[in-house]
Amino acid sequence: MNVKDRLLASKIYLVLAALFITSLVVSNLIFQKFFYWNPFGWFRFEISVGILPYPITFLITDIISEIYGKKKANQVVVTGIFASFFSILIILLADMSSAIPNSPVDNETFTNVFGLSVLAVLASMIAYLFAQFIDIRIFHFWKKKTKGKHLWLRNNFSTFASQFIDTSTVVGLLCVFEILPWEIFGKLLFSGFLFKVIVAALDTPLLYLAVYFFRKRFHLKKGEELKEVL
């Protein structure tokens, strides 16, 4: 690979990493709002708006895993952890700062909206660590087993398993921290996991499209990874 291609591959990697980190941090900040979604008519999802950007993180790690390799995927995951904990520090400082009398957002409102984000980020990070590393490990296990073939299989199998772990862990911890009542644990677990499974299945064509672009642009064979990214 020439220098020009290495620079392009590095820039794309940075963009993917930025999208990943943004999606992760935002999902932790907006999680307290829940909504109904009934697209099929037979089941009404009860899910947090924080779940909306979260599936993007698994799509991105699958793209990075397939094209850049396991090491680069793990690198993005660790960076996301630091970004999330840094967001906790910012929220804590902002929450400790007293609002002036004519502030559009007073202390109580700010605490109600962002005060629980610290616990949410903690719960999310524990779930996130388990889920993302398992996702990457399963993805590469099936990639090795299938010798780089059947991208749809490793994409969906890795995501289904990791999303169940992620959803059950984060909802369980939010109930343990008494942010959510235990009575709705089962409903939120089923709704969250089913939503993520549907999104994972729907994003498979996007993964194929991204992989096709990379293979064509960088002249990669099936199963081959970019090893010379800066």
Among candidate residues 168, 174, 162, 132, the one with its CA nearest the CA of residue 32: 174
Among candidate residues 12, 20, 13, 2, the one with its CA nearest the CA of residue 132: 20
Which range, 5-19, 172-186, 209-223, has the best average confidence (pLDDT)? Answer: 5-19
What tens digit of pLDDT does each residue of 142-173 get? 777 777 777 777 766 777 777 787 778 777 87
Confidence of residue 230 (pLDDT cuts 50, 70, 90): low
Q: Check pLDDT > 70 for residue 137.
A: yes
What tens digit of pLDDT does each residue of 166-196 get? 778 777 877 877 777 888 888 888 887 888 7
Domain 3-218 has CATH 1.10.3470: no
Crossing angle of helices 70-96 and 117-145, rounded to 10°:
180
The structural domains of the chain, with segments of one domain joined by +, span 3-218
Task: Quote the tokens at residue 27.
Answer: 């999902």
Q: Check pLDDT > 70 for residue 70.
A: yes
| 50 compared with 19, residue with greater pLDDT | 19
Among candidate residues 217, 202, 201, 203, the one with its CA nearest the CA of residue 67: 217
Element (H, E) at 37: strand 34-37
